[in-house]
């Protein structure tokens, strides 16, 4: 079982690795969200086309229900991904802030003039 560790306890090399991992996760979730949106848009367009093509056909009027269910499913999936994406963004920001603090502390302890002011 993994043990929770505060980002403040990690060194710069570990923070750099964590930042890289979070960047990959953010990219994956962003890409997934974008792909789901594209597919959802295609289903909406298909549903609208079917409605236009078959206004009087009873059999075809039931078909948009299939598209409606798929659109709703995709919407729910996007709603699940969005909070995870926001959480990963927040975690990445916290890691970046901690890296900045540690770099400032490191440069200040080495006596570099003006480095701690940045």
7-30 pLDDT per residue, tens: 888 899 999 999 999 999 999 999
Structure-token pair, residue 80: 């699940």
Q: Kindly report, residue by residue over 25-70, the tens digit of the pLDDT.
A: 999 999 999 999 999 999 999 888 877 777 766 655 566 688 889 9
Q: Is residue 6 part of a domain?
A: no
Separation of alpha carbons 43 and 73, rounded Å: 11
Q: What's the chain's length in residues?
A: 118
pTM, two decimals, is 0.76
Q: Is residue 7 part of a domain?
A: no
Domain range for 54 is 14-106
Q: Look at the chain and report how many structural domains it folds into.
A: 1
User: For the residues 93-115, what does the mean pLDDT come to?
Assistant: 85
Q: Is residue 101 part of a domain?
A: yes
Q: Is residue 30 part of a domain?
A: yes
């Amino acid at each position: 079982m993994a043990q929770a560790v505060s980002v403040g306890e990690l060194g710069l090399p570990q923070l750099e690795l964590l930042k890289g991992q979070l960047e990959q996760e953010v990219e994956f979730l962003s890409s997934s969200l974008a792909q789901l949106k594209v597919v959802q848009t295609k289903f909406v367009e298909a549903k609208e086309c079917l409605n236009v093509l078959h206004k009087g056909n009873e059999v075809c009027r039931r078909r948009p229900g299939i598209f409606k269910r798929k659109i709703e499913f995709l919407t729910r999936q996007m709603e699940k991904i969005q909070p995870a994406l926001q959480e990963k963004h927040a975690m990445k920001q916290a890691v970046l802030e901690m890296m900045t603090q540690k770099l400032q502390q490191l440069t200040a302890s080495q006596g570099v003039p003006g480095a701690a002011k940045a």
